[in-house]
Structure 1
Amino acid sequence: MIASLQKKFILISAISIFVVFSGIFLLLVFFSNQQLDRTMDTLADAISASDGVFPEFDPSQHSRPFPYDDIINEETRFSTRFFTVWVDEQGRITHINIDSVSSIAEEQVEDYARAALSENTQRGWVSDYRYRVVETGSGSTLVFVNGTMNRSMSGRLLLTAFLVLLCSACLILALIVVISKRVVRPVAESYDKQKQFITDANHELKTPLTLILSNLDIVETDVGKNEWLDDIRSESERMGLLINQMVTLCRMDESDAPLALADVDLSVVLGDTVSEFEPLAAERQKKLNSVIEPGVHCRGDEALLRRLAAILLDNAVKYCDAGGEIRVNLHARRHPVLTVENTYAEVDDLELDRLFDRFYRADKARTFTGSFGIGLSIAQSIARKHKGSLTAYKKDGAIGFKAELKEH
């Protein structure tokens, strides 16, 4: 149990780190792209405002607030690669200016211009060029600014940020793995004390219970049976049953407790269990129907698997509505699957996530029905011992339990 808790702590921490660092990286990508677009748009706006040529730098005209005050300076015109296309009102290209770029032919310029016009947007990207479309009285002016260098710098910065975040995440996760034992240590100590308490209580309580039952036998021999002695015997036996179930549950939680593994015919096990509960169900006027697929096998502990089936059937018989129906099904998919359902009028009021809590009873008054609220916890522990699971579900006025058993 403690090892499982430690693994869950590490897993939750790893997922949290992944989510947070992924969010940080995505924000960096978003703002980096926004900054890149704004930088390129600033250059395109300056060129389009100067009739398709790069304007002469005038410091008095470029007192922009951060982050644009460093975009345009005396050297910007020599490092900016761009070309301009003029088109008439019919969309025909009338003039091209490629004096500031040498790596593109006029045919490509025409293709880029047509692609930009087909987008029907004022700004956008065509290949490595950021464009701006400006409407004029005689048509449109298209300015294309090369963003290869800016994209390359942005990509390198993002790669650096990704590597830094990745290394940081790995370092943090390694530290979490190292300190995880220390984190769960208080829980482990509390759990060990709880197990020791249950073991000690078992030894301390069994002796007086044995004496009480022995003295009852002696008293009954002298005075005969009566309702008060019967009550004492009933409550003593109930307490003995509770102690045994608590010890069983404590032992089930010990992950290192070995199982008597063997090939188990679950079809036979469940068939025997159903046969045992049929008279009880009939006595309480409840229908017990079963569909058991033959030849369903599982490698596990036969005694524990029989107990799992008995707990589920006992629970179904106890809580099935008067005149209701209990349905048992066993079939094999990738793994054996056992389902036990029973009609229950108040199923909508049940808290399914609490049914496996120890000592939990749906009956708030906690009237005694022969159950302590431990059985389902034991059944779930048995399923987990067999690397499987036990879950509860609601279905058309009925409650069901589904046990999936994986082979060792």
Structure 2
Amino acid sequence: MIEKLRYKFIIITMGSVFFVMAGILLALNGFNYIHARNRADEVLEVLAENDGSFPQLEGPRNNFGPGNAINSETPFETRFFKVIANEEGEILQIDTSRVRSVDSELAQSYGEAVLTGDKEKGYLDDFRYWKVMQEEGTQLLLFVDNYRELETFRSFLRNSIFIGIASLIMILLLVVFFSKKIVAPVQENLDKQKRFITDAGHEIKTPLSIISANNDVQELIDGQSEWTQSTRNQIVRLNRLVEEMLSLARMEEGSFIQKMESIELSKVVREEITPFQLLCEQEGISFSTSIEESIVIQGEKESLRKVCSILLDNAQKYVTEKGMIQVELKKEKKKVVLSVSNSVDSLPEKLDRLFDRFYRESESRNQRVGGYGIGLSLAQAIVGQHGGSIEASSPSSNQIQFDVRFPL
């Protein structure tokens, strides 16, 4: 339980850190990309306004253009080329005088790619392009080399990913190290709780034995009465509670299951069914079974008996008057599935909470049928020790079903 709590803490912490860091890195890289794109778009707008060239500027380094991000040095820093085509898409003119990495043939292929495409703006390799319709009906295709800005963006992206991964690894190591100290108080409290349950259980057994013996003596002297029988019933209930609490404590300590061996589960289930089936028939409850023969699993026999007994006892307690109970054991793929279902008046609101220790859906209902909310929790612990799983479901609005899956 503590290890699960520790792993859960690590997963939640690292998940939170991951999403925060991922959000920050995505935002930073997104802003960098948008900045690189907008820088190229500002240059394209200036070129489009001046028929594919920069305006002549003299004097100091004054800013101009959209957003005032372009200055008088920009024409000397910018590499670009332009292609002019008619309305039919036929290329009329190519100017590559302001770029060294692109010749006329490559510029023509870029132009044809833009002319046949649907976008007015976009990227071709590291060139940002813009297709502009001119007043005379021609199409002006402008291509600005955005390599430096994009390379800066890509470099920042690579570095941020590397730093992010390295940071996550370092944080993970710290979280793993400190998680032991964080769950230590919980471990201490659980250990105290287990010791209390064990000690209290053994302490309660002695007075219960004395009360039972005194009750027997009283019956020998005065004969059996409804009062002595009531006392006996309460002693049985308390003994059962103590045994379940001690079993659950031993289960959590890992000392409940002593030895795993090959067990014919079909035989175990049939043996446990018999007394419950007779009791249900006396109460007018329909009891049907479907047990596949010769199903063998690795397990501890008495523990498996306990699981069957808990599920059958639970079904018998909560089945509706003149209702039905169904038990099925079968192989399903690489699993063995034991299903116990019964009719109910109303379904619990949260089926998964039925396995919580001391959880009871209805106080009045549990007073009527008895029980302390330990049985299903104990069954879940036993099934978990066998490498299996148990879950509750509702095939219909008036039926509840418990499915136990064991590995073959």
Give the TM-score normalised by the residue count of structure 1. 0.92
Name stretches of at least 5 consecutive residues in structure 2 with no aligned partner: none
The Cα shift of 1:83 comes to 0.8
The Cα shift of 1:353 comes to 2.4
Q: How many residues align?
A: 402
- Distance of 1:140 and 1:106 partners within structure 2: 17
The Cα shift of 1:322 comes to 2.2
Which digits, 9 at most, give the CA deviation of each residue in 1:262-297, with x for residues without a partner?
112222222322233221221222222222233332
Q: Could you say which residue in structure 2 is the equivalent of 1:9? A: 9
SS in structure 1 of the partner of residue 363 of structure 2: coil
The Cα shift of 1:63 comes to 8.1
- Distance of 1:16 and 1:133 partners within structure 2: 44
* 1:131 to 2:129 alignment: yes
- Distance of 1:292 and 1:145 partners within structure 2: 77
The Cα shift of 1:375 comes to 0.7
The Cα shift of 1:298 comes to 1.8
The Cα shift of 1:102 comes to 2.4
Structure 1 356/220 Cα, relative in aligned 2: closer, same or farther at 3 Å? same
- Contact 2:247-2:256 within 8 A present in 1 as well: no
Within 5 A, what are the aligned runs for 1:158-197?
A: 158-197=157-196
Amino acid at match of 1:99: S
SS in structure 1 of the partner of residue 294 of structure 2: coil
Amino acid at match of 2:291: I
Q: Could you say which residue in structure 1 is the equivalent of 2:345? A: 345
Q: Could you say which residue in structure 2 is the equivalent of 1:405? A: 406
Structure 1 248/155 Cα, relative in aligned 2: closer, same or farther at 3 Å? same
- Distance of 2:314 and 2:256 partners within structure 1: 26
Which digits, 9 at most, give the CA deviation of each residue in 1:100-122, with x for residues without a partner?
12222323322322322333333
Within 5 A, what are the aligned runs for 1:356-375?
A: 356-365=355-364, 366-375=366-375
Q: Which runs of 4+ in 1 moved over 4 A?
A: none
SS in structure 2 of the partner of residue 367 of structure 1: helix
Structure 1 234/276 Cα, relative in aligned 2: closer, same or farther at 3 Å? closer
Structure 1 359/26 Cα, relative in aligned 2: closer, same or farther at 3 Å? same
Structure 1 181/154 Cα, relative in aligned 2: closer, same or farther at 3 Å? same
Q: Could you say which residue in structure 2 is the equivalent of 1:217? A: 216
SS in structure 2 of the partner of residue 368 of structure 1: helix
- Contact 1:336-1:405 within 8 A present in 2 as well: yes
- Contact 2:42-2:66 within 8 A present in 1 as well: no
SS in structure 1 of the partner of residue 407 of structure 2: coil
The Cα shift of 1:257 comes to 5.4
Q: Could you say which residue in structure 2 is the equivalent of 1:48? A: 48
- Contact 1:57-1:73 within 8 A present in 2 as well: no
* 1:122 to 2:120 alignment: yes
Structure 1 272/221 Cα, relative in aligned 2: closer, same or farther at 3 Å? closer
Structure 1 28/406 Cα, relative in aligned 2: closer, same or farther at 3 Å? farther
Percent identity over paired residues: 35
Moved more, 307-316 or 283-292: 283-292
Q: Could you say which residue in structure 1 is the equivalent of 2:235? A: 236
Within 5 A, what are the aligned runs for 1:1-400?
A: 1-57=1-57, 59-62=61-64, 69=69, 72-138=70-136, 139-255=138-254, 258-332=257-331, 333-347=333-347, 349-365=348-364, 366-397=366-397, 398-400=399-401
- Contact 1:36-1:154 within 8 A present in 2 as well: yes
- Distance of 1:368 and 1:270 partners within structure 2: 27
The Cα shift of 1:308 comes to 0.9
SS in structure 2 of the partner of residue 144 of structure 1: strand
- Contact 1:330-1:336 within 8 A present in 2 as well: yes
Q: What CA RMSD, in Å, does the superposition of the two structures yield over aligned residues?
A: 2.1
- Distance of 1:232 and 1:186 partners within structure 2: 41
- Distance of 1:18 and 1:405 partners within structure 2: 36
Which digits, 9 at most, give the CA deviation of each residue in 1:124-158, with x for residues without a partner?
11222111122211222111112222222211111
